[in-house]
Each structure stands twice: as C-alpha cells, then as structure tokens.
Amino acid sequence: MLPLRDHSYTLRPPVVTVAIIVVNILVFLAMLFGDMDAIISRYALIPAKVSWNDPSALLPFVTSQFLHGGFLHIISNLWFLRIFGDNVEERLGHFLFLIFYLVCGVAGGVLQYIFNPLSSVPMVGASGAIAGVLGSYLFFFPRHRIETLIPFGVFSEVVNLPAQLILIYWFITQFFSGVGSIMAYTVGGIAFWAHVGGFVAGYILARVYSSLEGPNEAEEGELLD
C-alpha cells in the first residue's frame, strides 16, 4: 500500500515540516556533490563508535536523521513526512513538533543500537523520526481517510482507507521484518528496529501530550476526522 494523500487540511502552514524536508534535501545534495564518505563517517550513527561517556559520540543519534543513502531512500521518507507531518505539527504546535520529531528519531536510533551495538555499518535516514510522526498520527487521527494506491499485480486501484488500518499494517510489517533481521543476522539493509522504536515513541508521546492538554483540546483534534 502506498499512501498518496490525506483529506484533512490544516489551518496553519506546516512550516516545520516543510523546513525539515528542505534541510534533508540540502544535506542530500551536499552528500552528492561533496565528500560523501567523510560526511557519513562523521555524522552517521555507527553503533560500534557509540560511547555513552562521550557526549560528542552521541551527536550522530541526531545528525544521522538528516542523511540518506540514495534517491529512493530520501524520496520515500519525505513522501511519508509530507502526507502525515502537517496534521501532527498543527496538533502539537511548531516548536513542540520539532522537539518531538528529533526525540522520536533518537528513540529509533537507540532501539536499533540495542539490537546491534557492535555493528560498524553506518545508520542514516529520517525513518525513525518519521515513524514517530506515523505513531502520533495513529493516536491523534485514527479515523482520517488516506487516499491509498493498492497494487494488484500489473493493475492498481486508488481507495480511501482509514489511517489506523494503514499505519497498524505498516507497523506490523516493520516489527516482523525486524524480528526476521535478527533471525537472519543480516548486515546492512533497512534499520527496521529504528522504525519500530520511533513509531512506539511517537504513539506514547502523543498519548502523554493528549492527557496533558485536557479534554477540550483533545476534542478539537477529532473535528478534522
């Protein structure tokens, strides 16, 4: 299933979501036309290099969120952020959304590190942070309708599906893919546990935020369904 767009429009421009997309594109261009190996060595998250006693060695948990390994990687990540980020940003507010985004990315990186702490393979990508956006979207807007492309062999069909169906399906595939990566002990590839960690963190943080904001604000978010 490929989400195409949602049908819930925001009242405020998603300036942080747009800014994150622009920064990711600029960094990707810098990687393409600069010294990619040096950038990855310095800013990617390499679990084997993590030292919890050295704050500078922990910075890649944040900087790696803005690096990508190829065109398909960055396009798929930013596509999901474009679709789901604006509603979450409006619900949380611009500044809180930025903090939330980075925290979810760190949470995803930490979980991936836990499952493979000795790996020397660089981890790059915004997937953990964007997974956090998906997790929060599931909590805030489970009944939003998402226009989705569903392939049937050589044919395909566009249908409107509830967000909860798409996002729960996505999470289940990431979780079992993560389990499969442990069983196969693969090196490189997709950091599925970063997706799982970011998604769970996003869902939990959304629940905490909702409990703190009170019933009136919580009901306001449901008016967009």
Q: What is the pLDDT of residue 221?
A: 43
15-33 vs 94-115: helix crossing angle, rounded to 10? 50
Provide the number of structural domains found in the chain: 1
Q: What is the pLDDT of residue 218?
A: 42
pLDDT in tens, 3-43: 888 888 888 899 999 999 999 999 999 999 989 999 999 99
- Cα separation, 76 vs 137, in Å, equals 18
**In the predicted model, what is the mean pLDDT of residues 88-93?**
96
Q: What is the pLDDT of residue 220?
A: 41
**In the predicted model, what is the mean pLDDT of residues 103-108?**
96
Integer angstrom CA distances of residue 142 from 61, 71, 166: 29, 30, 10
Are 163 and 141 in contact by the 8 Å Cβ rule? The answer is yes
pLDDT in tens, 152-164: 777 788 888 999 9
Q: What is the CATH number of the domain that holds 137?
A: 1.20.1540.10
pTM over 0.85, yes/no: yes
For 204, the domain range is 2-222
